[in-house]
Amino acid sequence: MHLALFDLDNTLLAGDSDYEWTQHLVSKGVLDRDTFERKNTEFFEQYKAGTLNIHEFLDFQLQSLANNPRASLDAWHAEFMATCIRPIISRQSRTLVQRHLDNGDLCAIVTATNSFVTGPIAREFGIPHLIATIPAQQGGQFTGKPRGTPAFREGKVSRVEEWLETMGLWWGSFERSWFYSDSLNDLPLLSQVSDPIAVDPDITLRTHAERAGWTILNLHL
């Protein structure tokens, strides 16, 4: 049995779905351009630098879910998929995922981006499992807070292990395991698998991958 795990943003996608979701809502006038565009860019730069405080970010990012009716969010997300997401899915990304699926590997996306934004993207790829940050709900409406451990840095490892345990599995259940990621933030999970793959990596991850002899893969060049 083999395990294939995929980061989403700037790995399977040639862009960041969290960032693009906020920009999409700004473009529709749902969010204030000056406030949200500035904060969105600020948090994105922190993420790339490896200095992001995930709880501060989620307090910001989940506001848009809490402050709008679910029916409106669903309609905006359908537009978002068509205009922002499908154009940044490369043929190479689709081929990579399909190869693992065709091989019968257990496949999952593991992403810090919340499951409302990423659920339809996982379905677009045909990936059956999604391990994402979960936005809490009450009475069918989002509260603006996360539920449980965010799937970020070491949290990705613990969330994957919890998911495997629900199936009676652990790391040793797999002959081979892959994790594909672009970011230094994913070093904890990359270090857990037998085959870590750096995808169009940032400079810090590229340096680490080269020193460790990890495979470096270009999907978006």
Q: Which amino acids are annotated catalytic?
A: 7, 9
Task: Calculate Rg over the CA atoms of the chain.
Answer: 17
Q: Which residues contact 50 (CB under 8 A, 6 or more apart)?
A: 184, 185, 204
Rounded-to-integer distance, Cα 62 and Cα 201, Å: 27
Instruction: Report helix angle 17-27 to 115-125, nearest 10.
Output: 110
* Beta strands at 129-138 and 141-147: parallel, antiparallel or unpaired: antiparallel
DSSP 51-82: ---HHHHHHHHTHHHHTS-HHHHHHHHHHHII
Compute how many other C-beta atoms are within 10 angstroms of the C-beta atom of residue 3: 23
